[in-house]
Each structure stands twice: as structure tokens, then as C-alpha cells.
Structure 1
Amino acid sequence: MTEHWNAIRRHWQLLGSPLRPPPEVVQAYDRELELGRSHVVMLGVTPELAGLGAAMTSVDESADMIAGIWPGDTDTRKAVRGDWFDLRFGEASVEALIGDGCLSVIGAADLRRRLFASIARVLSADGRAAVRLYASPETRDEPQDVRVLALAGGVSTFHELKWRVAMTAIGGAPDYTIPVISILEQFDRMFPDRGELSARTGWELPVIGTIDVYRNSSVVYSFAPAAALIEEAKTFFDDVRLASTGTYGLAERCPLLVMRSPRRRF
């Protein structure tokens, strides 16, 4: 797993929306959680979100990700190594918490429930949390339809295409999980000629090649539908809703899951 995230770090500058949040996503976090005066806890080191809040503590288990991606500590923000499932904050002590795509990168439903429980434990009674989802549609796209859409110029970035490909490959997988190597295999079946994809879309081959970081990885992602994630979150929060993050490519599948009123006993 460490090597997987090291590879992501090395290719970070080649990544784009929706993997990296565009400005309208940053605005959505601020708008929905009213972060201006808050000390924000962030799961991960997403640099685009590092300026939110009056102060920020970012938590990531990877020292390499902190060193390579985090824009640097200041008087008002810092990054620390830590475990998302065992956050080192006192019970009911956090006023605002955010995370970008973190429910997808941890994988199976039991881990998602553990993360919801961890967030609920540290969030204050009037605190609020938001996690941007990568949520599969209720009706799965057909691979051929995604191929036609991409070659016709209907997909905004390669990284949007990568998530669309992943969501076609989940099928009936338990917990909506997929090994990332299976995303690569599905992509190679759908787009065997990367030169053609580059020529038809204008995407440079090194950007398309970022998918090869999945080749030797054992990491498992999940792309659960938003409705399933809402039901999981309701076990731990009394107030759960979705909020739009804008109009960028695939934004309709990347809403914020906004959570308030944590339950203390599960």
C-alpha cells in the first residue's frame, strides 16, 4: 500500500479533476460547513484544501505523502502522521472535519463504518463534517457507452474517464469494491490503443499513463452509490445530507456527504 501512495505522489502534478478538487469544490466545503472561523481537521493532505478554515490540522499515515504533497506547515496549519480510524483528538473536541474521496480509498463497508465511527467520536455536538464522494450511479454504465462518450470528446479529463471506467467494472462486487489492478485491466480492454485515445481527446500519453500506477498495486478502492453511503452514515449521525460540489466533469457523482449531530453510542 505504501508503494501505491508513493506512486500517486510521484505523479501528482499529472493528476487533475475530479481526483484533485477544482476551485468550486473548495468553495462547496467552505459554504456547506461555514469554515471561516473554524479549526478544521482534514483527512489526507489535499493541497487545494489546505487554506480552509482559520486553522487546520491535516492527518495522513504516509510521511512520504506529507513530504511530497502537503504545501507546508505555517502558523495556522500543520500536517501530522496519524491513523484515520484512531484519530488523536479528544472525544467531541473537533468543530469541523473534511476529507476528499477518503471513503473510496479505504475500501470495504466495514472500513467505511469504522471511519464514520471515528469521525463521530471526535466531532463536537454542534460540529460538522463533509466528505466528497466518488459515488457510482444507481444504474451501471455500459463499457461500450463510456468508450463512445470518451472518443467523441464527451469526457472532460482522463481522470474523469478513469473513474467512469472503474464504475463500469464494479458489477456485483461486495461492498462496491474493486482492486485497482482491475480498473487498469478494464481500461486496457476498453481502450487497447492509447495512441488513438490521445489523438481523439488531446490528452497527453504521460497523463493517460498515470493509470499504470495500478499495475502492481494491491490496493482496493470502493465506489458505493450515494444512497448506500447515506444509510451507512445514518448509523453514526442524526443529520446526513448531500450537497452539490459544482458543474465540473463528473460533479454529479462527487457530492459532499455532509454529517452533523454525531451519535455517541453505537
Structure 2
Amino acid sequence: MTEHWNAIRKHWQLLGSPLRPPAEVVETYDRELDLARSHVVMLGVTPELAGLGATMTSVDESADMIAGIWPDDTDMRKAVQGDWFDLPFPGASIEALIGDGCLSVIGAADLRRTLFASIARALKADGRAGIRLYASPGTPDDPKDVRALALSGGASTFHDLKWRVAMTAICGAPDYTIPVRDILEHFDRMFPDREELSARTGWELPVIRTIDVYRNSSVVYSFAPVAAIVEEAEAYFGDVGIASTGTYGLAERCPLLVLRSPKGRD
């Protein structure tokens, strides 16, 4: 997985929404979790979120990602190398926790449940967590419709299209998982002529080629529907909610999962 994220780090500046959170997403985290006076723990090193909270500690397993995209540490924020499944904090010590897309990048349902358990252990009784989802729709898209949407200019960014292709490619897979190399294979079948895609959409070829980092990767992503994620989370939290993150492209599939009242305190 480290090699996968190192490859992504190298073309970080070519990535865009919805992979990188636009301003309305940042505002949603702040509003829904009331972060202004809190110390915030962030899963990952999403630079757009680094200014949230009164102070912040970011946790990422990849030293390359920390070195490559995290803003410099300051008196108010720092990044540490660590394991999301075994957070480097005492139990019941965290006021607020955030993570952008982190449930999708860890893969299967058992890992999602393990992460929920880790967050529940770490949160204070009155703590709260927010995780932006990449959630597949209840009714899968038809690949022909996705292709037509893209070629007509209906996808807001290449990365919007990439997630649509991934969600289409799941096709009822267990736990809604897909190896990222399969996302690339489906994309190449749907869009065999990248120059045509570039000409029809205005997306530059280097941006389209960012998908090629999936070619030799062993990483597995997941795009579970909102209802499935909520059901999993309810085993670990007494209060599970969903909030819209805005009106950017694909925002309807990228809501904020809000978690409160962690269970298992007895």
C-alpha cells in the first residue's frame, strides 16, 4: 500500500474534486462537528483540512505522504506516522476526529468495522467524528450512461468520472470492493481513446493519465452505499447521521458520515 500512496503523492497537484475536498466540504466538517475550539485528530494528511480546529494532529502510515503533501508542522498542527487501526492516543481521549474518504481506501467491511472500533475506543464520551464517504448509488449506473455523460461534458472533473467508473465496476462484489487495477481496466474498456476523451471534455492528458498509477497496485478500494455504511457504524456508535457536503460534482455520493456517542464504554 505504501508504494500505491507514494505514486499518488507524486501527481497530487493533478488531482481534484471530489478526491480533494473543495471549500464547501471543509465548511461542512467545521459546521457539523463544531471544530473551532477543539483539538482535531485527522486520519490522513489531506492538506485542505489541515487548518481545521484549534489544533490538529494528523495520523498517516506513509512517511512519503507526510513529507510530500502535509503542510509544514506548526505550533498548532503536526503530522505523525501511525496506524489508523491502533491510534497512538489513550482511550477516550479524542474530542474530534475527521477523515476524508478513508473508509473507501481501506477496503473490505471487516476493515471498516475495525476502523469504527478504533475510532470508538479513542473518542471521548461526548466526542464526535466525521468521515466523508465515497458511496455508490442504490441503483448502479449503466456503463453506457457513464460514457455518454462524460463525452457530453456532464462529469465535473476526470476524478468525478473515475469514481463513477469505479462504482459501475463493482457489480455486486462482496463488501462493495474493487482492486484499483480493475478500475483502470474498466476505464480503458469504456474509454479506449483517451485523446477523444480529452478533446470532448477539455481534460488534459496528464490528468487522465493519473489513473495509470492503478496498473500495478495491489490496493483494494470500496464504494459501499450509504445505508450499508450506516448499518456498520451503528454497531459502534449510538448516534449516526449523514450530512450533505455541498453541490460540487458527485457531492450527492460524497456525504459526511457523522458519528457520536461511542459504544463499548462499560
1:116 and 2:116 matched? yes
Tell me the SS of whatever aligns to 2:178. Answer: strand
Kindly report which structure 2 residues correspond to 1:1-266, keeping only aligned pairs within 5 A, or say none. 1-264=1-264
Q: State the Cα deviation string for residues 52-79 of structure 1 (Å, max 9, x = none).
A: 0000000000000000010110001000
CA distance in 2, matches of 1:2, 1:56: 23
Tell me the SS of whatever aligns to 2:41. Answer: strand
Cα shift at 1:223: 0.2
CA distance in 1, matches of 2:50, 2:228: 29
CA distance in 1, matches of 2:229, 2:10: 31
Q: State the Cα deviation string for residues 216-260 of structure 1 (Å, max 9, x = none).
A: 000000000000000000000000010000000000000000000
Query: Which amino acid is the alignment partner of residue 18 of structure 2?
Result: P
Cα shift at 1:209: 0.2
Query: Which amino acid is the alignment partner of residue 207 of structure 1?
Result: V
CA distance in 1, matches of 2:72, 2:37: 21
CA distance in 2, matches of 1:205, 1:81: 34
Query: Which amino acid is the alignment partner of residue 30 of structure 2?
Result: D
Cα shift at 1:2: 1.3
CA distance in 2, matches of 1:3, 1:61: 12
Cα shift at 1:265: 5.5
* RMSD, aligned α-carbons: 0.8
Query: Which amino acid is the alignment partner of residue 182 of structure 1?
Result: D
CA distance in 2, matches of 1:72, 1:147: 40
CA distance in 1, matches of 2:43, 2:205: 31
Query: Which amino acid is the alignment partner of residue 245 of structure 1?
Result: T
Tell me the SS of whatever aligns to 1:84. Answer: coil
CA distance in 1, matches of 2:72, 2:48: 12
Tell me the SS of whatever aligns to 2:216. Answer: coil
Tell me the SS of whatever aligns to 2:212. Answer: helix
CA distance in 1, matches of 2:45, 2:164: 24
CA distance in 1, matches of 2:86, 2:33: 23
Cα shift at 1:3: 1.1
CA distance in 2, matches of 1:147, 1:264: 46
Q: State the Cα deviation string for residues 151-185 of structure 1 (Å, max 9, x = none).
A: 00100000000000000000111000000000000
How high is the TM-score relative to the length of structure 1?
0.99
Tell me the SS of whatever aligns to 1:149. Answer: helix
CA distance in 2, matches of 1:18, 1:71: 20
Where do 4+ consecutive residues of structure 1 move more than 4 Å? none
How high is the TM-score relative to the length of structure 2?
0.99
